[in-house]
A and B are shown apart, each in its own frame.
Chain A
Amino acid sequence: NAGVMQNPRHLVRRRGQEARLRCSPMKGHSHVYWYRQLPEEGLKFMVYLQKENIIDESGMPKERFSAEFPKEGPSILRIQQVVRGDSAAYFCASSLRTTPPNEQYFGPGTRLTVT
Chain B
Amino acid sequence: QKEVEQNSGPLSVPEGAIASLNCTYSDRGSQSFFWYRQYSGKSPELIMSIYSNGDKEDGRFTAQLNKASQYVSLLIRDSQPSDSATYLCAVTGDGTASKLTFGTGTRLQVTL
* Contacts from A to B (Cβ < 8 Å): 31, 33, 35, 41-45, 48, 55-56, 58-59, 91, 93, 95, 98, 100-109
Contact = CB atoms under 8 A, between A and B. Distances in A.
A109 B100 contact: no
Give the 4 A-B residue pairs with the shortest CB-CB distance, closest first: A101-B49, A45-B99, A100-B51, A42-B104
Nearest to A33: B99
A103 B51 contact: no
A102 B46 contact: no
Contacts, number: 64
Contacts of A59: 99
Nearest to B52: A100
A35 B98 CA distance: 13
B96 A98 contact: yes
Contact of A48 (B34, B99, B105): B99
B105 A107 contact: no
B25 to A, nearest CB: 14
26 contacts: A33-B98, A42-B102, A42-B104, A43-B88, A43-B102, A44-B102, A45-B101, A48-B99, A56-B97, A56-B99, A59-B99, A91-B43, A100-B31, A100-B32, A101-B34, A101-B51, A102-B32, A102-B98, A103-B34, A104-B46, A104-B100, A105-B46, A106-B44, A106-B46, A108-B43, A109-B43
